[in-house]
Amino acid sequence: MSAITRFLTTHSVQLTPAQSDRLEPILRDGTYELREVPYARCSGVRKDVNVTLYQSGKVVVQGKGTREFVEFVLEPQVLQEARLGYEEILAPESLEPRLGVDEAGKGDFFGPLAIAGVYVNADIVRGWKDKGIQDSKTVGNDRRIAELAKLIRETPGCVVSTVSIGPESYNRMYTKFKSLNRLLAWGHARVIENLMEQGPRMSPLPIRAISDQFARDEATVAKALLPLGRTLKLEQRHRAEADAAVAAASILARDEFVARIDQLGREFGMVLPKGAAPQVETAGKQFVKLHGAEALPKVAKMHFRTSYRVLGLPEPPKLDPSLFRRPKAS
């Protein structure tokens, strides 16, 4: 058993629906203290270990008792197979040199759209094994995000790039592209190109780039790639954050988004809440009262329906999703 495995303090794995159904009753058997965690189906805590099963099927295990839980509960009772310590044999591609790309802020009314990219190789992936590098949505708070972002940036051999599209630029670009997916594709392509321009810092050079599949047509991103990016194999996956490179990119993107929205808040003298919940609409109305409707595009994404409510305008009719479904092949 490797030293990395022996001192494991965090572990995550994607479960099938059947595996999730086997894990949940274990966490609810009375031996765990249940807690509320955003996006979680179930989360339990007991001595030396915290276990969270997310609605996506991803399970995250943290604490000094991680290895024991994985070896004696997760693998035999839930996964029903032994994996710990065999990751490099079971998934050798996890050590390949590659880029990971992810974004933050696309679902937030206030603040920028932040897109980040990260280069990793085998040494980097091994070094991060027990450091808590995981999908930013599963990280507890922004302070921990900042700590992990610092770790990523300071990792020897790791190359990073971040593109932040502030609200004013975002609104102009959205008007130009007329589609969030095309705007995202441009941002992902720009980050990939920025990374590839730093090729001399990468050893060995990446052979592929991985991102979440946000567009129905995978060609949307491929068409946006710039010259250096076209030399890579582009992989778009659902739940791509399970990959270490994409998880690291998600952390950097979130860290950038938080820094930028906080900066905007200081500039305009008020807290700009994250997300698109009712309190965001309330804050938007307060912002307009303080700074005027003409200033709203400086801090907010104006294509959100929230902007109509904030400005007291009638909302446009919602489009029928069936109009965008592809016809089934005969």
Residues 255-307: tens digit of each pLDDT: 999 999 999 999 999 999 998 788 999 999 999 999 999 999 999 999 999 99
Pair 85, 185 in one domain: no
In a domain, 204, yes or no: yes
Residue 83 pLDDT: 64
* Buried b or exposed e, range 35-44, using 16+ CB within 10 angstroms: eebeebbbbb
Pair 156, 221 in one domain: yes
Pair 61, 115 in one domain: no
Pair 49, 101 in one domain: no
Q: Nearest to residue 161, comparing CAs of 202, 123, 192, 201?
A: 192
Residue 327 pLDDT: 54
Q: Torsion-angle region of residue 122: left (phi > 0), alpha (psi -120 to 50) or beta?
A: alpha
Q: With 70 as the cut, is the pLDDT of residue 89 above it?
A: no
Residue 310 pLDDT: 96
Q: Calculate the CA 231 to chain-centre distance.
A: 25
Percentage of the residues of the chain whose pLDDT score is greater than 90: 71
Residue 92 pLDDT: 59
Q: How many domains does the chain divide into?
A: 3
In a domain, 319, yes or no: no
- Better-scored residue on pLDDT, 316 or 46: 46
In a domain, 123, yes or no: yes
Residue 2 pLDDT: 41
H or E element that contains 180: helix 180-196
Q: Residue 68 sits in which domain range?
A: 3-90
Region 138-152: mean pLDDT is 91
Q: With 50 as the cut, is the pLDDT of residue 148 above it?
A: yes
Residue 278 pLDDT: 87
